[in-house]
């Protein structure tokens, strides 16, 4: 398997064999890290991390991962660089490609990360765009493998805004890996029809399946994995909250939904999650909408505190696995591993 110089922009560009290879490499790197075995395979190289949106996990996973691999790291945040303001993405790509050996981009337009990939001449990794969040899927799939021992044949229900970057990317990854994926959401939040069609074709080959379901009980019945994400994504306006809470408040992942899933089901979330009043946004939303929507009065939105704190929840394993899987992506695309 040689992925050297390949961009990592969406799992649409990766075969199931390539995804399996990255998961296996991540597992090796995780074991080595736990054993204290150094793996500075990219010593002397440098990467730049471009962020138009905020991040905790993705930034830290790339930074810690790059250091472990022996690399230098430069972080450019939502303010402070010329990108997009005084300089086009295409020019930025050609400048950074002369200085760095790899580029991570988190931003709004998927076309921007494609432009970086096209013009920089070095591997580009998508750390989240409005459309896709592929590095998160690798961490999630490594977690599912660890918890359930397999990916193929797993019944995976994504509950919530099924046409956001997470819904899209999980559906693509599931379709490629033989997972039975159900998007559980009101019809207006179902994924784009063309993408569903594409994923159904992948699923036919892999032995998986894609189902869209508005009934939350049918959609989560006997699921092995119940996954959710925030109801309003970064970049969406504040006004979106009212509309989205209206559409999704009945889809909150609570104990009754987990009990409807398989007895051994796990709960997953890419994080950050609103499950209490201890965040500025959670508090504000709870105070604004609690009269109309009592279920969110404690700042619990897409998931209740009781579910995320339960023994079924593997959210912090997912968070840790961001680092091991991102390391695998950097290593595989920067060095010939054959």
Contact residues for ligand NVA (CB under 6 A)? 128, 133, 164-166, 229-230, 233-234, 270
Place of tokens 């029809």: 193
Binding flag, residue 169, ligand CP (CB under 6 A)? no
Q: Are 123 and 103 in contact (CB under 8 A)?
A: yes
Q: Choose among ligand CP, ligand NVA, none what residue 164 binds, the Cβ cut-off being 5 to 8 Å by kind.
A: ligand NVA
Q: Among 99, 129, 93, 102, which Cα is nearest to 5's?
A: 102
Of residues 196 and 230, the one with the C-beta less far from ligand NVA = 230
199 is catalytic: no
Q: How far is the CB of 58 from ligand CP (least distance, A)?
A: 3
Q: Rounded distance, CA 167 to CA 302, Å? A: 14
Size of the site for ligand CP (CB under 6 A): 9
Place of tokens 């993705």: 58
Q: Rounded distance, CA 314 to CA 310, Å? A: 9
Q: Rounded distance, CA 168 to CA 328, Å? A: 22
Of residues 178 and 299, the one with the C-beta less far from ligand NVA = 299
Binding flag, residue 165, ligand CP (CB under 6 A)? no
The residues, any chain, with a CB within 8 Å of residue 37's CB and separated by 6 or more, are none
Q: Rounded distance, CA 58 to CA 66, Å? A: 12
Judged on CB neighbours under 10 Å (0-12, 13-18, 19+), 121 is middle
Of residues 124 and 270, the one with the C-beta less far from ligand NVA = 270
Q: Rounded distance, CA 163 to CA 230, Å? A: 12
Of residues 97 and 134, the one with the C-beta less far from ligand CP = 134
Q: How far is the CB of 163 from ligand CP (least distance, A)?
A: 18
Q: How far is the CB of 208 from ligand CP (least distance, A)?
A: 23
Catalytic residue among 57, 59, 106, 269: 106
The residues, any chain, with a CB within 8 Å of residue 163's CB and separated by 6 or more, are 185, 189, 190, 191, 192
Catalytic residue among 136, 145, 147, 252: 136
Q: How far is the CB of 58 from ligand NVA (least distance, A)?
A: 7
136 is catalytic: yes
Chain-centre distance for alpha carbon 233: 12
Of residues 61 and 328, the one with the C-beta less far from ligand NVA = 61
Q: Rounded distance, CA 81 to CA 49, Å? A: 12
String marking each residue 111-150 x if it binds ligand CP according to CB under 6 A: -----------------x-------x--------------
Q: How far is the CB of 189 from ligand NVA (least distance, A)?
A: 12
In sequence order, what are the beta bridge partners of 156?
181, 225
Chain-centre distance for alpha carbon 335: 24
10, 16, 52, 58: which one contacts ligand CP (CB under 6 A)? 58
Binding flag, residue 316, ligand CP (CB under 6 A)? no
252 is catalytic: no
Of residues 169 and 220, the one with the C-beta less far from ligand NVA = 169
Q: Choose among ligand NVA, ligand CP, none what residue 56 binds, the Cβ cut-off being 5 to 8 Å by kind.
A: ligand CP
> Binders of ligand CP among 242-281, rule CB under 6 A?
270-272
41 is catalytic: no
Q: Are 217 and 260 in contact (CB under 8 A)?
A: yes
| Count of C-beta atoms within a 10 Å radius of residue 241 | 18
Return the residue nearest ligand NVA (CB atom): 233
Judged on CB neighbours under 10 Å (0-12, 13-18, 19+), 194 is exposed
Site residues, ligand CP (CB under 6 A)? 55-58, 128, 136, 270-272
Catalytic amino acids? 106, 133, 136, 229, 270, 322
């Amino acid at each position: 398997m040689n992925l050297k110089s390949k961009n990592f922009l969406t799992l649409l560009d990766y075969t199931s064999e390539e995804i399996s290879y990255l998961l296996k490499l991540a597992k090796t790197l995780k074991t080595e890290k736990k054993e204290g075995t150094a793996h500075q395979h990219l010593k002397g190289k440098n990467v730049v991390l471009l962020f138009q949106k905020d991040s905790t996990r993705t930034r830290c996973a790339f930074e810690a991962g790059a250091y472990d691999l022996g690399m230098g790291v430069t972080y450019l945040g939502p303010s402070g660089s010329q990108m997009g303001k005084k300089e086009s993405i295409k020019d930025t790509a050609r400048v950074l490609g002369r200085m760095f050996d790899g580029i991570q981009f988190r931003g709004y337009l998927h076309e921007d990360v494609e432009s970086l990939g096209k013009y920089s001449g070095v591997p580009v990794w998508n750390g989240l765009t409005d459309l896709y969040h592929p590095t998160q899927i690798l961490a999630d799939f490594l977690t599912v493998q660890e918890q359930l021992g397999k990916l193929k044949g797993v019944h995976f229900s994504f509950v919530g805004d099924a046409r956001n970057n997470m819904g899209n990317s999980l559906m693509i990854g599931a379709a490629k890996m033989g997972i039975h994926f159900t998007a559980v959401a009101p019809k207006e939040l179902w994924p784009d029809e063309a993408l569903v069609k594409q994923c159904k074709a992948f699923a036919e080959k892999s032995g998986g399946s894609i189902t869209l379901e508005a009934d939350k009980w049918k959609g989560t019945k006997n699921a092995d994995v119940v996954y959710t994400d925030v109801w309003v994504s970064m970049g969406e306006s504040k006004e979106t909250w009212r509309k989205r809470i209206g559409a999704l408040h009945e889809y909150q992942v609570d104990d009754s939904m987990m009990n409807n899933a398989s007895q051994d089901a796990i709960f997953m979330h890419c994080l950050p999650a609103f499950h209490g009043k201890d965040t500025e946004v959670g508090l504000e939303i709870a105070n604004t909408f609690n009269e109309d929507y009592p279920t969110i009065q404690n700042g619990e939105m897409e998931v209740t505190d009781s579910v995320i704190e339960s023994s079924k929840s593997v959210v912090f394993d997912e968070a840790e696995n961001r680092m091991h899987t991102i390391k695998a992506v950097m290593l595989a695309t920067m060095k010939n591993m054959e």
